[in-house]
Chain A
């Protein structure tokens, strides 16, 4: 009996389809951290090139093509330039926070990626290795928590620079990120309703079983997409660094690598947001219409294929980010706030209630999430999807473009303006004939 148990333990320890544990787990985690960090940094470097190439393509230009073949070495040249540039410290800046701010925006941007599963688990002779750095049971909550830390870097950068433009940028950013976090969180709750779990790997595996969530949660996906744009301060929500208004916003006073770190943070946030969109709504690493590759037993080639699939999906959303950036104008501050609080939040709340009701009704009707209509079409998925299309028509017919964005609503009237002026200066009224 003892012998048998020992054998089972032995076998268990070397079962490639069981999760890896013990010392190999530690080693694998370290390897994964190094690999993911490196890949992410290289991706970010090449995203800057991709942004310039895509903008050039949209704008009938060539884009960078001098450094290396077809400009491929441009990110290296940019990185080198940023390191070699002079570091400037404004004399009026509050140095400790001024130096800390880029770090504060850089680190959360990078570590949010830790919980995202980027491929199917890899079986090794020490056991099954999860293809995410840390598959936390509270995965999504971790992302919400860490992503909201990023705002500190921007606010502190704006404040500590002791520059009015930077301060305005920091103020805008804090207001914007706080407002859109609420809608973002609420939009995701609908995902959690369907998956029943906040761990990102189980959200992926439930999508493999029931179909991708973008269709049964169409409006939730849309809300999340908009909020993700706002969270990452990308156009049309790039008010904190609106260069035509605030010079460069919160990073006006920064130079050299500190400046660069804000950019790395922005692109890193973009990558994380795209990966999240993929994971939450587009099946994560799952390959469409190919059940074999998405399910156990795992094999290394399945890991490779799903990794490529994940990268393609994430790449699509990164492209979407850039596409939108080079197409749309920028919101105004009050419009941003009113879209966030008066449109997105009520829709997200109402949507959550409707979806919760729908899920409850479907469960009461006894339709299992995995049931398939005619053996192919997932019933649950289709019904919720149809409901969402109906809701989407309602939302976009009721809330047409003219009402979503209020024109010049913030204008102060002449009476109020006179009061404000009287309050502001000690200057006496000019005396006639003096």
Chain B
């Protein structure tokens, strides 16, 4: 460990211990005083020694319906799942560790790549976290633009979820209807930031670019026409006998269980817990927008489907409100610590040139401290925790990935169901392996 990382943090409840290492959550202790540890998953060799009629089947990591490289080792009795052992880590990229060697603005491209269906939302979330660390106020225009970015990103993610879930349950057509609309959102993003999937759209203190001329008209057109597709898919699926039969009563999580497993996002709301970070811990002025938080009652796959469908409509509603109130003015804040001087000044004025050079080569330095920002990502509560030791690079960057926490409940949800249901339940969690393995 480099000496640079041993720091004395004075403010707040620190995330670092005396040695400068991030603190760990204490182990849970039962009333009797024994430390509870989870039963370790059986080694594959042990599990392979199956007796009787049971069959061990390896679902993934290369399987069309595991949404990436999730691997589920299933013990089947006929087609009934007796045991489900999830294996993760096939997409481990070390994002958090890489972040410790990057300046704050340089971390933003890495946030694109973890939950790649919500890349622009991650950009915004990371920028919000970094700005909290720096103590920067963003401009009103930037606030609204970021909110538009987050809701567009939610629409993309939910559309991909909807499409892939349809394929998993055997309906191919809504997948392409959903992807056609997703393409329209990507066109919007492409015009705005020049990239589609890996947007890297934000900077600490502002955005990479303001929206181009005519962009709002395109957005308005999208807002107007998009609900039509949602309604179409709704007509094809919501009352379809097979769809209902395939999703109702599947992978039920009661409200208590959902809370105890730490689920968040549509998974939690489908179980009847009305928790939405946007409403309960508002950021980006979400409290000033008029939107509903859809809540399910049964906590099954069907309710998760209904909740996400409604969220698509609510996101469109929020987008319409945001588009109506987008103020003029600058996008980037005027905080000299993070914002580059204009190019013309940097090329003519010595101080500005030095400032520009220092900003680019060394990066902005936040004060000592730490920040945690949670946003409502399409998958649930997404948190970015970062600790600063006063240098230009975070000493620790930690992601709270909603997919990872939601996936932890899969064993509970699928056991006792059939093999086909494993696919449907896995789809209903809406996982992105990039976020889980990080």
In the assembled complex, the Cα of A56 lies from the Cα of B419 at a distance in Å of 30
A344 nearest CB across to chain B (Å): 15
In the assembled complex, the Cα of A412 lies from the Cα of B79 at a distance in Å of 11
| CB neighbors of B among A320-367 (8 A) | 326-335
Whether B64 sits at the interface, judged by CB under 8 Å, is: yes
Supposing A59-B172, A424-B52 touch, asked if A332 and B241 sit within 8 A by C-beta, the answer is: no
Interface size on B, residues (CB 8 A): 56
| Interface pair A402/B244, CB less than 8 Å apart | yes
Query: Which of A244, A326, A401 has the largest number of chain B CB atoms within 10 A?
Result: A244
Query: Which of B50, B171, B237 has the largest number of chain A CB atoms within 10 A?
Result: B171
| Interface pair B176/A425, CB less than 8 Å apart | no
Interface size on A, residues (CB 8 A): 49
Given contacts A327-B173, A335-B245, 16 further A-B contacts (CB under 8 A): A59-B172, A59-B177, A60-B180, A242-B170, A328-B170, A328-B240, A329-B171, A329-B240, A332-B420, A401-B244, A405-B245, A408-B248, A408-B417, A412-B416, A425-B46, A426-B51
In the assembled complex, the Cα of A406 lies from the Cα of B421 at a distance in Å of 13
Name the contact of B82 in the complex, choosing from A58, A165, A329, A417 (C-beta under 8 A): A417
Nearest A residue (CB) for B301: A408
Name the contact of B236 in the complex, choosing from A55, A327, A330 (C-beta under 8 A): A327
In the assembled complex, the Cα of A407 lies from the Cα of B39 at a distance in Å of 32
| Interface pair A408/B249, CB less than 8 Å apart | yes
| CB neighbors of B among A230-246 (8 A) | 235-236, 238-239, 242-245
Contact with A along B308-320 (1 / 0, CB 8 A): 0000000000000
**Inside 8 A of B177's CB, which chain A residues have their CB?**
59-60
**Inside 8 A of A55's CB, which chain B residues have their CB?**
172-173
**Inside 8 A of A59's CB, which chain B residues have their CB?**
172-173, 176-177
| Interface pair A329/B39, CB less than 8 Å apart | no
In the assembled complex, the Cα of A414 lies from the Cα of B421 at a distance in Å of 17
Interface SS of chain B:
mixed
| Interface pair B42/A427, CB less than 8 Å apart | yes
| CB neighbors of A among B164-222 (8 A) | 166-173, 176-177, 180
A408 nearest CB across to chain B (Å): 4
Interface residues of A (CB under 8 A from B): 55, 58-61, 164-165, 168, 235-236, 238-239, 242-245, 247, 326-335, 401-402, 404-408, 410-414, 417, 420-421, 423-427, 430, 432
Query: Which of B177, B239, B244, B420 has the largest number of chain A CB atoms within 10 A?
Result: B420
B376 nearest CB across to chain A (Å): 29
| Interface pair A247/B63, CB less than 8 Å apart | yes
In the assembled complex, the Cα of A330 lies from the Cα of B65 at a distance in Å of 14
In the assembled complex, the Cα of A64 lies from the Cα of B165 at a distance in Å of 25
| Interface pair B82/A424, CB less than 8 Å apart | yes
In the assembled complex, the Cα of A219 lies from the Cα of B243 at a distance in Å of 24
Could you name 20 residue pairs across A and B whose Cβ atoms are closer than 8 Å? A236-B242, A238-B170, A244-B169, A244-B423, A327-B173, A328-B240, A328-B242, A329-B169, A329-B242, A330-B169, A330-B170, A333-B418, A405-B242, A407-B244, A411-B249, A425-B49, A425-B50, A426-B51, A427-B46, A427-B47
